[in-house]
Amino acid sequence: MNFPLVTTSWLETNLNLAQLILVDVSMSKMVGKKAIEYEMPLYIPNSRRLDLETALCDLNSSQTHAFPTEEQFTAVAQKLGVNSESIVVFYDNQGIYSAPRAWWIFQVMGFQNVFVLDGGLPQWLLENRRVVPNTSNIEAKVGNINGIFHPQRICNSNFIFEQMNNKQLAVLDARSRERFLGIAPEPRSGVRSGHIPDSVSLPYPEVLNEYCFKTDEQLTAIFSALLGNKTSTLVFSCGSGITACIILLSAVIAGYKDLILYDGSWTDWGSNVALPVGS
């Protein structure tokens, strides 16, 4: 295990580990690259299924893909059987797409022993490892984990607006460069085109090598080229807070520590005409 990732070989070796909780958090739609389509559902053995867009989103919020409440997280994690000694591994059927979002939610809620399967289901299949057509039907014993929300790990538009002159903070945008530049339309109605002023474009496919993350050396080089050595705090944004977590996790791999997710991301910022748009 090499935080925050586990390899397919590690997972196959440890599939029957008592502490392991393996969770498929695949989403039905993808933005930013062509989705991998399957003729039928496929899962890694012993997987449990979690609908990230309902179970771990605050549906009472007007924000798209809003972060879950502490109580909501606790109920979901306990239902999965999560205890203090559990090892939670998330994966998705696109390689790396939605699993980092689930990983960051667990991190923000104070559960540290959580990982992402590097390469997800596509890498698993590429290596001819065994799959099953259904998720595990074993009823998990209710866990005893209690979420403790760490608010400093996510932010809203007010925080970014107030910090716009802070040279020690950088906002990185995971959307395509065309959307960042405002030459491609936003997929959601009522959202302006463009980007947060002074933010930096880092389309999430650029931190990936096929289905997996690039090496830590490659990622370090990418961030160094974009940011230099002066920035101490990184804020991550995208369309609605999903793919921002991909580049956030890549920053963890590259060794960065002070990381914040702008949960509302461009859907929030671009919908507010009172907020400036970068040129």
Residue 279 lies in a domain: no
Catalytic residue of the set 155, 212, 238, 245:
238
Same domain, residue pair 78 and 51: yes
d(CA 175, CA 180): 6
DSSP 61-89: SSSTTPPPPHHHHHHHHHHHT--TT-EEE
Same domain, residue pair 62 and 40: yes
Residue 11 lies in a domain: yes
Same domain, residue pair 120 and 164: no
Q: What's residue 78's pLDDT? A: 96
Same domain, residue pair 20 and 131: yes
Same domain, residue pair 110 and 245: no
Same domain, residue pair 110 and 200: no
Residue 129 lies in a domain: yes
Same domain, residue pair 126 and 19: yes
**In the chain, how many H helices and how many E strands?**
9, 12
Residue 38 lies in a domain: yes
Joined together, the tokens standing for residue 168 give: 């020690």
Q: Is 276 exposed, middle or buried (0-12, 13-18, 19+ CB in 10 A)?
A: middle
Number of domains comprising the chain: 2
- Residue 89 belongs to a domain with what CATH number? 3.40.250.10
Residue 67 lies in a domain: yes
Q: How far is CA 235 from CA 42, 182, 214, 248, in A?
A: 34, 20, 20, 8
Expressed in angstroms, the distance from the first to the final Cα of the chain is 43
Same domain, residue pair 40 and 128: yes
Same domain, residue pair 73 and 181: no
Question: Which domain covers residue 44, as residue numbers?
Answer: 5-149
Same domain, residue pair 98 and 182: no
How many CA atoms are closer than 13 Å to the CA of 139, on its beta-carbon side?
1
Residue 102 lies in a domain: yes
Same domain, residue pair 156 and 122: no
Q: What's residue 232's pLDDT? A: 86
Listed residue (162, 167, 220, 200) closest to 278, CA to CA: 200
d(CA 144, CA 175): 37
3-state per-residue secondary structure call for 220-251: HHHHHHHHCCCCCEEEEECCCCCCHHHHHHHH
pLDDT tens digit at each of 279 positions of the chain: 678 999 999 999 999 999 999 999 999 888 877 889 999 999 999 999 999 989 999 888 777 778 999 999 999 999 999 999 999 999 999 999 999 999 999 999 999 999 999 999 999 999 999 999 998 766 678 999 999 999 999 999 999 999 999 989 999 999 999 999 999 888 888 899 999 999 999 999 999 999 999 999 999 999 999 998 777 899 999 999 999 999 999 999 999 999 999 999 999 999 999 999 997
Dihedral class, residue 172 (left if φ above 0, else alpha if ψ from -120 to 50, else beta): beta
155 tagged catalytic: no
**φ/ψ (deg, to 5) at 269:** -65, -45
Joined together, the tokens standing for residue 212 give: 């997996």
Map tokens 């890498």 to a residue.
123
Residue 245 lies in a domain: yes
Give 184-188's long-range contacts (Cβ < 8 A, gap of 24+). 186/239, 186/266, 186/267, 186/270, 187/31, 187/239, 188/64, 188/239, 188/240, 188/267
The pTM of the full predicted model, rounded to 2 decimals, is 0.96
